[in-house]
Amino acid sequence: MLSSGVMKKARSRLLRLVLAAVVAAPMALGLKAQDAPPQQPPATPPAPPEQPEQTPIFRTDINFVRVDVIVNDREGNPVHNLTQEDFEVTEDGKPQAIQTFKLINVTDNSGIGSDPPREVRNVIEEQMEAARDDVRLYAIFLDDYHVRLENSMRAREPIAQFVENQLNPADMAGIMYPLWSINDVLLSRNRKTVASAIREFTGRKYDYTPRNMFEEAYVHYVSTIEAERIRNEVTLTALKGLIIRLGGYTDRRKAIVVITEGFTNSLPAQVNDQFASCNGGPCGNQPRARPDPISQDPALQSRMDSQEFFLQSDLLGDLRRVTELANRYNTTLYMVDPRGLAPFEFDLSTQGGANVSLTKDRAMLDSTMDSLRILAENTDGRAIVNSNDLAGGLRQIVRDSSAYYLLGYTSTLDQPDGRFHKINVRVKRPGLQVRARPGYLALTATEAERALTPKKAGPPPAVTEALATLAANTQQRRNLTRTWIGMSPGANGKTKISFVWGPTPAAPGVRRETPAKVSLLAGGANSDLYFRKREIPPGRVEFEVPPGPVDLDIAVEDAAGEVLDRETRKIVVPSLGLGLTLSTPEVFRGRTLPEWQKLATDQAALPVIERDFRRTDRLLVRVGAQSAAGTPEISARMLNRDGGEMSALPVTPAGFGGLSHVDVPLAALPAGDFLIEVTAKDGAEQAATLVAIRVTQ
């Protein structure tokens, strides 16, 4: 349910359009039917499929509701000394008995407890750390589709400084763009990395130059208005996916900071092109007459107003579904308008914008700002609009997440009805300002039945941990280099480390520095130096270290010796000298049968770092096993992502270097994630290791 103030304001503008539309539309349609273009359904957007709305984890049973409440004094300072008896909660006007009460107060800049915050390196660590009560979660949604280039350049520095200076060391933050896969989002504590990514933010509102295959599929065939609707659907779908992702971490308050200039489903005729790729310029035989011809025809104007009314009504429905999902997953939306004090929606930088009337321009500006207020106010967030002080508004976001009360009650609702239920929270102490989410969407009968059904046991922890490496591998694609670290038994009780690196291929059309060499330093916990080498070309380097924690300091350099990037990788080296042990499997890819056969006999071949493969590829996995008692027996099999066996894999016993070879054909596999399990047996003793792979096509 949308807040009454914003809804009245939005409806008043729409009703001004519909009054004339209801009376004149039938006549207009009759008079101008021969002039009306045939209506076509909007093109299918290139967005990932919308994820199903799951039962949120903050409902411990189907009738239990949790709501976070922010209480401030008249000066806006948080109030920390309230008790459970100071609160009253009603649902649809009916009093509710508060059963759980907790003050969440995260203001300590020193991090979690006395220890420094744990570094987040993969999805498993991300989930573990995000579930802590003393960790605040922030996601920065950079809506490049709805931010002009000049406004993104103006706003990105205050947003980057907000991440660098306002967040605590224990806070976790990440960024997302509309076209990103939700699997590419990783919340981390590396604030410098997040801030650096924000400083690269480049808006492209009203710029329809295609930048990828998805945009190429539609910008040359749809009008500017239709392209804007596609962009709206892509953005809101991605935002819903991010809400579900954050909702799976914890039942506590989460904050999504959305950098956008707002949404609209319509545009003035003066800025609408027959094909969006024209970008306001000449395009084929399209005329560029921009004085408004519609205003000269009242009947046609009424028909256009009627069409705009229904299009904007559709947008309100889309926004409502976003707010319902955010309330279900206890996620707050903070809408940040980078335009600041914006006098106009269209200016001279927009082709045709100079011919838009001031009345129409103001209506468009108000409409986009209203969309921001709707999303913020109905998720207990804030809309930072019409303000040049972005830093001040962003500081308030941290204050909202630092101190609030978490209340829980069992609803008196008899049966799940799938409807929105209004929540009202009141504090008995006078003179305080109270903010809470306006309500929640109850489960439907089907959802309630699904929630009460015992869930199927998940995959074993070893399977989950192996699959998490695929996300880490995807994350490496954004870096200048990709690395692989393998371990095998060394001499005198030590462990041999194999370090393989290579430059990450740049995306088409993207220019960036080219790494040519790395410097590597391996040290122990007591400042012991185990290995040091400079100017390592792409390839493999090996050295031995004693078991225990090891820090790998990696410096990436270009051909001139300039340092492009630095990274410290912390690893724990196991002891591989006692009992039955397996070395880290090495994966090799053959794109043809002769290439694969050559790999089987090439002892100097380098393993591939990538874990995404095609079905036309054929993999060779090398793995070593040793045991003090005898020669271990090696077997292998292919598993699905749940750990279930799919097929046995042929194994060639140990050859050169004491390594066994596993033949892994991919032609019969569908697209998806799989695991290669290698098992070594020596009598009653057994050891196994997993390698996760992804088959793309």
Separation in Å, CA 119 to CA 128, 465, 533, 586: 11, 17, 26, 27
Residue 291's pLDDT is 46
Q: What is the DSSP letter of 417?
A: -
Using CA atoms, how far apart are residues 99 and 118, in angstroms rounded to an integer?
A: 33
Domains of the chain: residue spans and CATH: 4-54+135-402 (3.40.50.410), 480-574 (2.60.40.10), 579-697 (2.60.40.10)
Q: Residues with Cβ < 8 Å from 120, sequence gap 6 or more?
A: 126, 129, 172, 186, 187, 188, 189, 190
Listed as ranges, residues in the chain with pLDDT below 50 are 1-4, 6-60, 109-114, 288-291, 293
Give 216-236 pLDDT, tens digit per residue: 888 888 888 899 999 999 999
Residue 439's pLDDT is 86
Q: What is the DSSP letter of 198?
A: H
Long-range contacts of the stretch 485-489 (C-beta < 8 A, 24+): 485/552, 485/569, 485/571, 485/584, 486/583, 486/584, 486/586, 486/607, 487/573, 487/574, 487/576, 487/583, 487/584, 488/576, 488/583, 488/584, 488/624, 489/576, 489/577, 489/581, 489/583, 489/624, 489/626
Using CA atoms, how far apart are residues 171 and 169, in angstroms rounded to an integer?
A: 6
Residue 475's pLDDT is 67
Separation in Å, CA 282 to CA 221, 269, 278: 15, 16, 7
Using CA atoms, how far apart are residues 219 and 271, in angstroms rounded to an integer?
A: 15
Nearest to 232, CA basis, from 2, 45, 41 = 45
CB atoms closer than 10 angstroms to residue 287: 7
Nearest to 374, CA basis, from 13, 3, 70 = 3
Task: Check: CB of residue 615 under 8 Å from CB of residue 664.
Answer: no
Q: How far is CA 311 from the centre of its chain?
A: 28
Task: Check: CB of residue 443 under 8 Å from CB of residue 425.
Answer: no
Task: Check: CB of residue 654 under 8 Å from CB of residue 660.
Answer: yes
Q: Residues with Cβ < 8 Å from 151, sequence gap 6 or more?
A: 203, 205, 261, 338, 339
Residue 276's pLDDT is 81
E strand spans, 81-127: 87-91, 94-96, 98-105
